[in-house]
Chain A
């Protein structure tokens, strides 16, 4: 009886935001504790204990060199994502609103999209050399697709009454794009970006593993090559934390923007 009510209470708690937060933190804390305890006695050089990984992470990633590497990664990541968002939204809006353009370019787009961005690393290296531009280009190339396609789809499916009332009042051109189309499509753009963020992390690390002299991916491969397993693990740990923070911050921004674009959804 008492366990039943306890379960019911827990289930009810899981449905509230605060409940989710508490349960999520509990789960994460348990996972970290398990890792910590299981690895504590480890004498396997490939799987060092969490304790020493954390020590190493603190040692290395707080030095100017470590910080610079993190910043370098963040720079390329934000550059690539920014480019992907701008281009994806603009091209998506055009394709979604002009049926002729859509029909003309969609087979080409499907083809281009099917090529994994990583396959273009040699080409990007040729084009830009070993540089930030190369990395930004790769990230943008890989991340543009979900944003572009989601935006185009949203623009195509804009509410007919909404677009009719804009047309009836001669709200056209730039005014239509900024006041009507963009806010109407915003939820779809945000979904595209959410899919693009993990992709951008993958491409960031991959591009840093080839020839570049800085960044998280570089540190991880470099550490592995020089048999500094601890540094390698600490880099992976930092990557995980970075990915988590990025997703978390994004979800906060996303929630705000969604509430602005469609205040009704909050009341449901």
Chain B
């Protein structure tokens, strides 16, 4: 349903241009949780911005249901890493969730219903009238997730969404994502630099190289859902998969270090 084909992104610079992504190809199946993992500086965020239609590709294509993506499609919702800057600080939590729904075709009553149920889903029904800054980081990211699910997207795009919260909150948010996805069947495209997180969440993990980044390997994660922070992570298969992904990334980082030196 979402196909990235031979995509390239080059930024103009004084010395000609910096290619962040090159020859990138993969496809995401409907209902799949597809994760992109790679070392920092691998152009993962660039890739995601292009897929989400926030940046233009300079080569190749991104297509969704056969239509080339140019500009953010209505069917996509995005959760950013920096929750503090992606929510509007001047409006309430409820208004933040409601704002994307304020367009023709959705009645005020329907909007209120969706906002309430989305915030209940993420456990923030009591925080509706608060301002984002009055909440902890993890709670703010929950608001961002609520905003995304109230929007009822077909594809949920998440850019290192849990990288700025503490470990316990992170585990809670991972499980929240898995639960929402099980209930709604939303397709998820997830970016992270955390190997454990990528293996724990996904159907498939794509390992990307350092920039100009391309797919190094796509690993199937055949672990059964529903997953559990303790039980799943204790499985020998989990350890094997994690070790494999981790090994590939370390090789890339080491060889890059050798070339740099």
User: Which residues does A use to contact B, with CB under 8 Å?
Assistant: 159, 161-162, 164-165, 167-171, 175, 179-180, 183, 260-264, 267
Residues of A contacting B: mostly: helix
Q: List chain B residues, Cβ under 8 A from A165.
A: 78, 80, 86-87
Would B133 and A263 count as touching, CB distance under 8 A?
yes
Q: List chain B residues, Cβ under 8 A from A260.
A: 90
Query: Taking the nearest CB of chain A, how far is it from the CB of B93, in angstroms?
Result: 13
Q: List chain B residues, Cβ under 8 A from A169.
A: 72, 77-78, 99-100, 147, 151
Would B90 and A183 count as touching, CB distance under 8 A?
yes
> Number of contacts between A and B (CB, 8 Å)?
63
B157's nearest neighbour on chain A, judged by CB, is: A168
Chain B interface extent, by class:
20 to 34
Would A179 and B99 count as touching, CB distance under 8 A?
yes
Would A263 and B99 count as touching, CB distance under 8 A?
no
Task: Choose one: B72, B87, B90, B133; the contact of A168 (CB below 8 Å).
Answer: B72
Beyond A164-B86, A263-B133, 20 additional pairs, beta carbon < 8 A: A159-B85, A161-B82, A162-B85, A164-B78, A165-B86, A168-B53, A168-B54, A168-B78, A169-B78, A175-B99, A175-B102, A179-B88, A179-B99, A183-B90, A260-B90, A262-B90, A263-B89, A263-B90, A264-B84, A264-B89
Interface string of B66-86 (1 = CB under 8 A from A): 000001101011101010111
Would A168 and B52 count as touching, CB distance under 8 A?
yes
Q: List chain A residues, Cβ under 8 A from B147.
A: 169
3 nearest A-B residue pairs (beta carbon): A169-B100, A161-B85, A168-B78
Residues of B contacting A: mostly: loop
Q: List chain A residues, Cβ under 8 A from B133.
A: 263-264, 267
Q: Does B14 contact A (CB under 8 A)?
A: no
Bound form: Cα–Cα A180–B100 in Å: 12
Query: Taking the nearest CB of chain A, how far is it from the CB of B232, in angstroms?
Result: 31
Q: List chain B residues, Cβ under 8 A from A263.
A: 89-90, 131, 133-134
B71's nearest neighbour on chain A, judged by CB, is: A167
Would A162 and B72 count as touching, CB distance under 8 A?
no
Would A170 and B85 count as touching, CB distance under 8 A?
no
Would B89 and A168 count as touching, CB distance under 8 A?
no
Bound form: Cα–Cα A183–B78 in Å: 22
B:85-118 near A, CB below 8 Å = 85-91, 99-100, 102-103
B102's nearest neighbour on chain A, judged by CB, is: A175
Bound form: Cα–Cα A1–B149 in Å: 65
Q: List chain A residues, Cβ under 8 A from B84.
A: 264
Task: Choose one: A170, A179, A262, A267; the contact of B74 (CB below 8 Å).
Answer: A170
Would A162 and B77 count as touching, CB distance under 8 A?
no
Q: Does B49 contact A (CB under 8 A)?
A: yes
Q: List chain B residues, Cβ under 8 A from A168.
A: 52-54, 72, 76-78
Would A167 and B90 count as touching, CB distance under 8 A?
no
Query: Taking the nearest CB of chain B, how far is it from the CB of A245, in angstroms?
Result: 29
Interface string of B2-24 (1 = CB under 8 A from A): 00000000000000000000000
Q: List chain A residues, Cβ under 8 A from B91.
A: 179
Q: List chain B residues, Cβ under 8 A from A264.
A: 84, 89, 133
Task: Choose one: B82, B89, B103, B131; the contact of A170 (CB below 8 Å).
Answer: B103
A160's nearest neighbour on chain B, judged by CB, is: B85
Bound form: Cα–Cα A170–B82 in Å: 19
Q: List chain A residues, Cβ under 8 A from B80.
A: 161, 164-165
B134's nearest neighbour on chain A, judged by CB, is: A263
Would B88 and A164 count as touching, CB distance under 8 A?
no
Bound form: Cα–Cα A264–B137 in Å: 13
Known A168-B76, A169-B77; contact A161-B86, beta-carbon cutoff 8 A:
yes
Bound form: Cα–Cα A162–B131 in Å: 16
Q: List chain A residues, Cβ under 8 A from B72.
A: 167-170
Q: List chain B residues, Cβ under 8 A from A180.
A: 88
Query: Taking the nearest CB of chain A, how far is it from the CB of B178, in angstroms?
Result: 22
Would A162 and B90 count as touching, CB distance under 8 A?
no
Query: Taking the nearest CB of chain B, how far is it from the CB of A157, in angstroms?
Result: 13
Known A168-B52, A169-B151; contact A261-B86, beta-carbon cutoff 8 A:
no
Would A261 and B85 count as touching, CB distance under 8 A?
no
Would B100 and A162 count as touching, CB distance under 8 A?
no
Q: List chain A residues, Cβ under 8 A from B77.
A: 168-169
Q: List chain A residues, Cβ under 8 A from B85.
A: 159, 161-162
Bound form: Cα–Cα A262–B52 in Å: 28
Query: Taking the nearest CB of chain A, how far is it from the CB of B190, in angstroms?
Result: 15
